[in-house]
């Protein structure tokens, strides 16, 4: 992909500027008004999961789930993926054997439950094909808006980099992750919470596992980004794949880059050389990922799609009603699950 000079733009100035509509198997959620806010009047003995759309605005995903759980007096709520906080989003959720009266009486200023139907299965993480985004970027220089709009229209694919937020402030998550991979327990513990301990490994075992995994995943992500960046600089071609196609180490037509682990097998050819060079540049080996002292952090390794096709692209430029004298750009597009809209946008914009 040709190097593009990025332009400054404001993102999520208002929740309505960042709309996310989930796409699943045989369903498409929308934030449009619906005619069906009313749940079924009776329970279904054969299908025990009540599916519905959760539409929310300017509220954190997990807080929204907690609010619904409290109101419906149940912890049995399933969803396919989390959605942004400062945004207007719609997604499918499932509720196991709900109290229909509580569902009928549910009311919240930032949450709507709609489009109900019974189903035999629970919605789980990963049960989605992708998301449709409708995004308004603001406070853009007029000349920049014209230039960048033309470049986006000509786009067919973009690198599937991990976003910089994954790495933490000043890449702090990566630093901690490497300390853990190097078994430098005392240093890692001090970086995490400033503590010193006579038995730092025992102290690390008490830290939330999701947080600990985040540190290791950040290292995998940084190595992935570095490999992909170098590969694209050298014009290595990657095959575009759909979500239904399995990512493998195809030696002729690679579609993915590695997420390093102790069981990783490098690609052949120049891509494999790059992988090994990047891993060495990070002063790591594959065996570093086999953290037997903290088994839940052991990483076998896997693949991640290298490049992503952008679908259903729409783009419009107009005067910005919020920032006089500037332009706003409206973008609508569909991305597969696991790919973030900001990853796409950061190819063109300096987001603030």
Give, to the nearest 10 degrees, the angle between helix 185-193 and helix 172-181: 160
Catalytic residue, from 17, 84, 144, 320: name it: 84
- The H-or-E segment that residue 313 falls in is strand 311-319
Question: What is the β-pairing status of strands 18-24 and 88-96?
Answer: parallel
Beta carbons of 318 and 324 less than 8 angstroms apart:
no
Are 280 and 298 a contacting pair, CB within 8 Å?
Answer: no
d(CA 58, CA 66): 15
The helix/strand/coil state of 147 is: helix
Q: Check if the beta carbon of residue 132 is closer than 8 Å to that of residue 107.
A: no
Phi and psi for 171 in degrees, rounded to 5? 55, 35
Torsion 43-44-47-51 (CA) sign: negative
Q: Which long-range contacts link 279-288 to residues 24+ away (Cβ below 8 Å)? A: 279/223, 281/226, 282/178, 282/219, 282/222, 282/223, 282/226, 283/178, 284/178, 284/181, 284/219, 284/223, 284/260, 286/260, 286/261, 286/262, 287/262, 288/181, 288/182, 288/262
Please give the structure tokens belonging to residue 87.
Answer: 């945004």
Q: Is 84 a catalytic residue?
A: yes
How far apart are the C-alpha atoms of 336 and 23, rounded to whole Å? Answer: 9
* Catalytic (active-site) positions: 84
């Amino acid at each position: 992909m040709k190097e593009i000079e990025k332009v400054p733009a404001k993102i999520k100035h208002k929740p309505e500027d960042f709309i996310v509509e989930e796409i699943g198997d045989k369903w498409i959620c929308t934030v449009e008004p619906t005619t069906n806010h009313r749940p079924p009047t009776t329970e279904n003995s054969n299908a025990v999961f009540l599916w519905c759309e959760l539409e929310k605005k300017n509220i954190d995903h997990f807080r929204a789930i907690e609010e619904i759980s409290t109101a419906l007096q149940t912890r049995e709520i399933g969803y396919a993926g989390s959605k942004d906080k400062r945004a207007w989003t719609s997604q499918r959720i499932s509720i196991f054997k709900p109290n229909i009266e509580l569902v009928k009486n549910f009311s919240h200023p930032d949450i709507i439950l709609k489009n109900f139907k019974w189903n035999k299965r629970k919605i789980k993480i990963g049960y989605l094909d992708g998301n449709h985004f409708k995004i308004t970027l603001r406070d853009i220089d007029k000349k920049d808006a014209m230039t960048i709009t033309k470049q986006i229209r000509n786009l067919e694919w973009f690198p599937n980099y991990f976003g910089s937020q994954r790495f933490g402030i000043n890449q702090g998550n990566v630093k901690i992750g490497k300390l853990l991979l190097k078994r430098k327990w005392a240093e890692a513990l001090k970086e995490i919470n400033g503590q010193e301990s006579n038995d730092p490994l025992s102290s690390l075992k008490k830290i939330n596992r999701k947080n600990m995994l985040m540190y290791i995943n950040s290292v995998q992500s940084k190595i992935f980004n570095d490999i992909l960046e170098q590969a694209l600089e050298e014009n290595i071609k990657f095959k575009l794949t759909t979500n239904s196609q399995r990512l493998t180490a195809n030696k002729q037509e690679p579609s993915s880059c590695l997420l390093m682990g102790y069981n990783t097998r490098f690609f052949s050819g120049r891509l494999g050389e790059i992988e090994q060079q990047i891993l060495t540049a990070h002063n790591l080996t594959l065996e570093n990922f086999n953290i037997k002292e903290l088994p839940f952090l052991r990483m076998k390794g896997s693949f991640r799609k290298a490049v992503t096709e952008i679908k259903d692209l729409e783009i419009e430029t107009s005067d910005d009603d919020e920032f006089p004298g500037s332009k706003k750009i409206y973008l609508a597009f569909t991305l597969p699950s696991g790919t973030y809209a900001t990853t796409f946008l950061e190819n063109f914009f300096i987001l603030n």
